[in-house]
Amino acid sequence: MEHYKYLILGAGPSGLACAHTLCLLGEESFLVLEKESEAGGLCRSAEVDGKPLDIGGGHFLDLKRKEVLELLFRFMGREEWQEHRRVSKIRIRGVEIDHPLEGNLWQLPIADQMDFLESIAKAGCLRGEPQPEAFADWITWKLGECIAREYMLPYNRKIWSMDPNKLGTYWLYKLPDVSFRETLQSCLERRMFGALPAHGTFLYPKQHGYGEVWRRMGEALGERLHLGEALHSIDPEQRVVNGRYQADTIINSIPWSAWTRAGPMPDDVRAAVGRLVQVPIDVDYCPDTLPSDSHWTYDPDESKSFHRVLLRANFCPGSRGYWTETNAARSPEVPAGGFRHRNEFAYPVNTLDKPAAVAIVRAWAQAHGIYPLGRWGHWEHMNSDVAVSLAIAAGRELAGVGG
């Protein structure tokens, strides 16, 4: 039996950032287990048609978090990244306009602007109506009927491939308020209003895909990272993994469903894990170069299977083509010779009872010296910069470093 102070499950951004934080703090007794043959998780890239393609979907690094940039630049210096000003679009009523929709309605023909303005003016939240419980009603109440019916509801049906009313509304605080007054002013003055969305500016590697920085972080761990070693058995009481590694603390960044197959768990915890839902996403490559300056485009049209198009040629120098992101339940056959990567665990879904299920799992984990981390430990949507920031904080907390 090998003994470690920390055993980290998963070498995605969370596991890697936590491991390197421990390392930087002088901690040597840890091991990372990763089931794939390469580190990086959803942020990995592969070479497709001669250039990098992000197999977990389009990935861009937000510049907001200083501690994250400091850590990542140790492995891929600032000079290896290109800063981009975000250009993202939405296809609506047969045309492409800038994202966010509510801030750029002025780009539509006048008659269409009038439809959207009228429906925003009638939105329940602006008329003091009580906040509804169900997701679809909530969206309509918040954004008005047109934005709900033509964008938010079809887009959510596509990405989740489920009845939107099975989703909770507890995560929608992120949606910006839509002001009738500001929307009208923006249409009259023909300019965008509102704050820049996330990734207003972002970094993308000049020569590589987004996966390169994580690959290097994995490589730098040397023998402390075991690639190609999935969790297959666990004794949560003794914290013994795969019959071979015993740890004081297990740091878990892999989906909890892998645990239910690997070892014992109380019935209520097993049932709570069973209620956690995730969405698989297919990334499909097409070599055609689209005539748009967009980095990516959202498409709510339900007659198309994909929900987002990533225009690789606009952020990956010297490349051509684009890739699409599609909920696997909606995916068409892959064309002969085509490239597809399926991500079984792509999006954790914010179902109605997710917070209660996560609370049960976390309480059990904490009582057993198991530390939940990252997208799957918390079953929470988070961008990689947030995942890294939380993992740095976790590493510091575990190593007993304050601040």
Ligand X SMILES: Cc1cc2nc3c(=O)[nH]c(=O)nc-3n(C[C@H](O)[C@H](O)[C@H](O)COP(=O)(O)OP(=O)(O)OC[C@H]3O[C@@H](n4cnc5c(N)ncnc54)[C@H](O)[C@@H]3O)c2cc1C
- Binding to ligand X (CB under 6 A) within 178-197 occurs at none
Q: Which of 45, 140, 297, 384 binds ligand X (CB under 6 A)?
A: 384
Which CB sits closer to ligand X, 12 or 164?
A: 12
Please tell me whether residue 346 binds ligand X under the rule CB under 6 A: yes
Q: How far is CA 350 from CA 168, 169, 208, 275, 357, in A?
A: 6, 8, 33, 11, 11
Please tell me whether residue 96 binds ligand X under the rule CB under 6 A: no
Query: Least distance from C-beta 325 to ligand X, angstroms?
Result: 5
Please tell me whether residue 375 binds ligand X under the rule CB under 6 A: yes
- Which parts of 29-172 fold into alpha helices (H)? 66-73, 110-121, 135-143, 145-147, 153-160
Please tell me whether residue 295 binds ligand X under the rule CB under 6 A: no
Binding range to ligand X, per CB under 6 A, among 57-65, 88-96, 147-155, 270-278 = 57-65
Task: Name the residue among 374, 311, 318, 321 with its Cα closest to residue 348.
Answer: 374
Query: Least distance from C-beta 129 to ligand X, angstroms?
Result: 34
In sequence order, the 6+-apart residues with CB closer than 8 A to the CB of 132 are: 124, 138, 141
Q: Find the distance separating the first CA and the last CA of the chain, reported in whole Å.
A: 35
Radius of gyration of the chain (CA): 22
Please tell me whether residue 72 binds ligand X under the rule CB under 6 A: no
Q: Which of 30, 60, 106, 151 binds ligand X (CB under 6 A)?
A: 60
- Binding to ligand X (CB under 6 A) within 254-283 occurs at 254-255, 258, 281
Alpha-carbon span 88 to 315, nearest angstrom: 12
Q: Which of 4, 6, 22, 41 binds ligand X (CB under 6 A)?
A: 41
Query: Least distance from C-beta 388 to ligand X, angstroms?
Result: 8
| 126: number of Cβ within 10 Å | 17
Binding range to ligand X, per CB under 6 A, among 38-46, 298-306, 309-317, 362-370 = 38-46
Binding range to ligand X, per CB under 6 A, among 12-20, 151-159, 326-334, 354-362 = 12-20
Q: Which amino acid is at 188?
A: L
SS3 readout for 251-273: EECCCCHHHHHHCCCCHHHHHHH
Give rounded-to-5 percent helix, strand, coil for the chain.
35, 25, 40
Alpha-carbon span 358 to 365, nearest angstrom: 10
Query: Least distance from C-beta 219 to ligand X, angstroms?
Result: 14
Phi-psi region of 337 (alpha: psi -120 to 50; beta: other; left: phi over 0): left
Binding mask 304-343 for ligand X (x = CB under 6 A): ---------------------x------------------
Binding site for ligand X (CB under 6 A): 9-15, 33-36, 41-43, 56-61, 230-231, 253-255, 258, 281, 325, 345-347, 374-376, 382-385, 387
